[in-house]
Chains A and B, each alone.
Chain A
């Protein structure tokens, strides 16, 4: 019987983290940014039907970067969790905080216990209304959870874009048009290529809407929004 090799826990975690990071680095980036009436989400996504951004509940949205099959599973689990909670208690009891906690637990458990960690990075954002602030949570492949303000970026070039947005020094939330062009220019600058509107997936959580506040913006919508 061959003896099992000893691998130190540090080494194992480091290997897993490296593996997950490598997987995520291959993917494109997604930006969530606060604007006057809510939160704007912009993803670089050449597919028009395989979404990276999705509605979870009335004022909660989800975005996933990395391996599609893995974040798609997380997205579905989130919708089930939210719908169950809303059905069991009330619609206002579904919060991004509890959802982000659930994600963090699950992703963290998988990272430490499974052979292969999840190669995903996800965002859970909730638009605040009636005077409440927006909430943005970024959850990493190891289950670590970061509470973001003003903007949040995930995906391959997240750090570079984050630095770029920080440089702009936003003091107050821009309007939708300004926020959208800021996102597009940041993605273009980091990717050093011109992006067509068709290759972008854009959605908003608009606090001025009633009930379900999530809305996708088609290429035609964004074109109209950006036209002077």
Chain B
């Protein structure tokens, strides 16, 4: 018998539930429409795909957990579309993700991933393991692959606190959903390389939390220095990058005042070098 309220479904994944029963609501739901539009054009070749994702988001491990941070700029070609966009999301009590790529699908994936983890927890009565969450995100990135060919890239950087291992963990992804764990730090987006260069020079194992936060903000500053797609601290409007701390206590937002203070110190050092 067909009952609208009791769909015949037994699976703990919200993403699979949407895909099966409400495909139009999934991020890939548009792909049919887009493909129909672009059917006249040949598919772009895989090798030379230009993947624009003007952003820098990064994560650094420290002694008790992970710092995750990102800039605030969104661009449309050579125009700045948004100065205050938020690229670092709290996903559940012990995990956060940062995103690079097309803003709409990125935010949609973060939202869907939040619901996915909460849904699983409510249905099963227990939280997914840190590894399980990272794998699930990989499957969602993989499902997004058809959209990548339409130019709508979503690249997440996932950090979680592994309660069983009592350590923070960082996962990066490729476009096909491949999942790779990073042992120390990672950055993605157009300024990712610049940020990684900074982190490579200054990173030490077992950093304390304030140092890790300082390094994260320094790396973002240097990335903004060299990359047009990354926004630096906007002193006039008072817009600063955002950062979150992921550790045994859960997810903590770093206050804007704290970030502002760190940048004030950093900028003073830079200025003294110029004179």
List residues of chain A with CB under 8 Å of any chain B CB.
Answer: 49, 51, 54-56, 73-74, 76-77, 79-81, 83-84, 86-88, 102-103, 105-106, 109-110, 113-114, 212
How near does chain A come to B111, taking the closest CB pair, in angstroms? Answer: 7
Question: CA separation between A114 and B3, bound complex, in Å?
Answer: 12
With A and B bound together, what is the CA distance between A81 and B9 in angstroms?
A: 12
Instruction: State the majority secondary structure of interface residues on A.
Output: helix
With a cutoff of 8 Å between Cβ atoms, the chain B residues found around residue A109 in the complex are 1, 3
Contact among A74, A86, A102 with B115 in the assembled complex (CB-CB below 8 Å): A86
Q: Are A51 and B125 in contact (CB under 8 A)?
A: yes
Contact B5 A77, beta carbon cutoff 8 Å: yes
Specify which chain A residues have a CB less than 8 angstroms from the CB of B111 in the assembled complex: 87
Given contacts A84-B22, A87-B115, contact A79 B122 (CB under 8 A): yes
Bound-state Cα–Cα, A106 to B1, Å: 11
On whether the beta carbons of A80 and B17 are closer than 8 Å, the reply is yes
The answer on a CB contact under 8 Å between B3 and A106 is yes
Cα A56 to Cα B121 with chains together (Å):
11
**A107: min CB distance to chain B, Å:** 9
| B window 1-57: CB within 8 A of A | 1, 3-7, 9-10, 14, 17-18, 22, 25
B260 contacts partner chain A, Cβ-Cβ < 8 Å: no
Chain A, residue nearest B114 (CB): A87
- Checking B5, B14, B25, B118 against A106 with a beta-carbon cut-off of 8 angstroms, the contacting residue is B5
Q: What B residues does A79 contact at CB under 8 A?
A: 119, 122-123
Query: Which residue of chain A has the shortest Cβ distance to B22 in the bound complex?
Result: A84
Give the chain B neighbours of A114 by CB distance below 8 A: 1
Q: How far is the CB of A143 from chain B (nearest CB, A)?
A: 11
Contact A55 B5 (CB under 8 A): no
A87-B25, A87-B112 known; A106+B122 contact, CB < 8 A: no
| Complex-state Cα separation, A110 to B1, whole angstroms | 9
A76: B residues at CB distance < 8 A: 10, 123
* B8, chain A: closest CB distance, angstroms: 10
* A62, chain B: closest CB distance, angstroms: 10
- Interface footprint category on B: 20 to 34
Distance in angstroms from A80 CB to nearest chain B CB is: 6
Question: In the complex, A110→B111 CA distance in Å?
Answer: 35
Q: List 28 A-B contacts (CB under 8 A).
A: A49-B125, A54-B122, A56-B122, A74-B6, A76-B123, A77-B5, A77-B7, A79-B119, A80-B9, A80-B14, A83-B115, A83-B119, A83-B122, A84-B17, A84-B18, A87-B14, A87-B18, A87-B25, A87-B111, A87-B115, A88-B22, A103-B5, A105-B3, A106-B3, A106-B5, A106-B6, A109-B1, A109-B3
- The list of the 9 closest CB pairs from A to B, nearest first, reads A102-B5, A106-B5, A77-B6, A106-B3, A83-B119, A79-B122, A87-B115, A106-B6, A55-B122
- Which chain B residues (95-151) contact chain A, with CB distance < 8 Å? 111-112, 115, 118-119, 122-123, 125
A83 B1 Cβ-Cβ under 8 A: no
Of all chain A residues, which has the CB nearest B116? Answer: A83
Given contacts A73-B6, A84-B17, A106-B3, 15 further A-B contacts (CB under 8 A): A51-B125, A54-B125, A74-B6, A76-B10, A77-B7, A79-B123, A80-B119, A83-B14, A87-B111, A102-B5, A105-B4, A105-B5, A106-B5, A110-B1, A113-B1
List, in ascending order, chain A residues with CB within 8 A of B118's CB. 83, 212
In the complex, chain A residues whose CB is within 8 Å of the CB of B4:
102, 105
**Within 8 Å CB of A105, what residues of B?**
3-5
Q: Which residues of A contact B123 (CB under 8 A)?
A: 76, 79
